[in-house]
């Protein structure tokens, strides 16, 4: 496999935090990939959410399927943020692919895998209803939980 992914920025938390921000993202790549590993300090599981370019409007929608070890479910969500993974008190990992993030003629779509092994696994297809190029990303959890010290956030640019 060729060197198709370029590390744009990585953040490993030295102390707890409620949000992580990537700003001044270059438009030089085809897609973005965000890899998040770690835990929260206060809940079994919560959704990881993203907001692009500071947009807090109702411009985000997703469809997802979840397996929690007992049942398989699917649902949709349209709200002020983009559900983009899961995190809990067991070591979790989410991978988020953001397609054509710098294109100015299309809404931005995402493909996500989120795993919290003590809770379950989720796959998500998302859309940000904006034609603006993505230049910043804020990462939080849906219930405003706290990311733990040592959690890591890696943002890659995908060549293409």
Partner 1 sequence: MAYNLIQTQTVSTAVPSITFSSIPQGYTDLYLVISARSSFATGSVSDLYVYFNGTTTGYTSRWLQGNGASASSSTSTAPADPLVTMANVAANTFNSVSVYIPNYAGSANKSYTLDDVTEDNSTTAYQRIVASLWSNTAAITSLTVSEANGANLVTGSTASLYGIN
CA distance linking residue 21 with residue 116, whole number of Å: 22
The pairing of beta strand 45-52 with beta strand 137-141: antiparallel
Give yes or no for residue 33 binding partner 1 (CB under 8 A).
yes
Cβ proximity to partner 1, 61 vs 152, nearer residue = 152
Residue 30 is a binding residue for partner 1 (CB under 8 A): no
Q: Please, which residue, 129 or 159, has the CB nearer to partner 1? A: 159
Q: Closest approach of Cβ 2 to partner 1, in Å?
A: 8
**Contact string 103-122 vs partner 1 (x = CB under 8 A):** ----------x-xxxxxxxx
Give the strand order in the sheet containing 137-141.
Answer: 20-22, 137-141, 45-52, 82-88
CB 5 within 8 A of CB 142: no
Q: Is 65 in the site for partner 1 (CB under 8 A)?
A: yes
Q: In angstroms, rounded to a whole number, what is the distance separating the alpha carbons of residues 39 and 90?
A: 6
Q: Which residues bind partner 1 (CB under 8 A)?
A: 1-7, 33, 35, 37, 65-72, 74, 90-93, 95, 113, 115-123, 150, 152, 154, 156
């Amino acid at each position: 496999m060729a060197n198709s992914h370029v590390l744009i920025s990585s953040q490993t938390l030295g102390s707890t935090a409620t949000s992580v921000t990537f700003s001044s993202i270059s438009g030089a790549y085809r897609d973005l990939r965000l890899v998040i590993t770690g835990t929260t300090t206060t809940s079994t599981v919560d959704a990881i959410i993203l907001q692009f370019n500071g947009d807090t409007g109702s411009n985000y929608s997703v469809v997802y399927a979840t397996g929690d070890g007992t049942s398989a479910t699917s649902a949709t969500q349209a709200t002020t943020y983009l559900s983009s993974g899961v995190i809990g008190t067991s070591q979790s990992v989410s991978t988020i692919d953001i397609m054509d993030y710098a294109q100015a003629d299309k809404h931005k779509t995402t493909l996500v895998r989120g795993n919290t092994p003590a809770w379950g696994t989720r796959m998500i297809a998302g859309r940000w209803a904006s034609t603006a190029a993505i230049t910043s990303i804020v990462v939080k959890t849906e219930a405003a939980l706290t990311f733990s010290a040592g959690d890591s956030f890696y943002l890659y640019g995908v060549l293409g």
